Amino acid sequence: MFYVLRHTQTGEIAAYIQKNNYDLDYYGAKQWDDKSMAEQEKDAFLSAIGHDDPDLWQVLPVNESRLKIFNVKLKNDPTRKLCLDPEGNMTVHSVQDA
C-alpha cells in the first residue's frame, strides 16, 4: 500500500518533479510507503510545491497499480493535473486549459 495526497475540494493528487531509479527526472504523484510519514511530511511537501492550504489535503491510501495509473495519466508533464473524485474516477486537466 502507498499513500498520496488528495485535495478534499478539487480532488487533485499532489504531484511534482522527482527522480526515478535511474536518477532521471520525471513528473509524477508524490507517494509514501508509510501513512505516518506522509502525515508528518505533508505540510513541508505541500509548501515546497507551492500549496499553502495543507488542511485541505488528505492522506489517501492507494495500491501500486493505481499509483502507476496516476503517473501514466500525468504523462511526465508538469502542466497536467490529475483529479480523483470521491467515487475514484480520474480526470486530467492541463494547467494551460485554465
User: For 71-88, what is each residue's pLDDT tens digit?
Assistant: 999 999 999 999 999 999
> What is the sign of the dihedral through the CA atoms of 23, 34, 70 and 10?
negative
Summarised one tens digit per residue, pLDDT across range 27-83 is 999 999 999 999 999 999 999 999 999 999 999 999 999 999 999 999 999 999 999
Within 8 A by CB and 6+ apart from 88, the residues are none
> What's this model's pTM, rounded to 2 decimal places?
0.93
Q: How far is the C-alpha of 68 from the C-alpha of 95, rounded, in Å?
A: 21
97 has a pLDDT exceeding 60: no
Residues 6+ apart with CB under 8 A from 93: 80, 81, 83
Residue 95 has pLDDT above 90, yes or no: no
Q: Are 31 and 3 in contact (CB under 8 A)?
A: yes
Range of the domain at 53: 2-97
Q: Cα separation of 74 and 31, whole Å?
A: 14
What is the domain count for the chain?
1
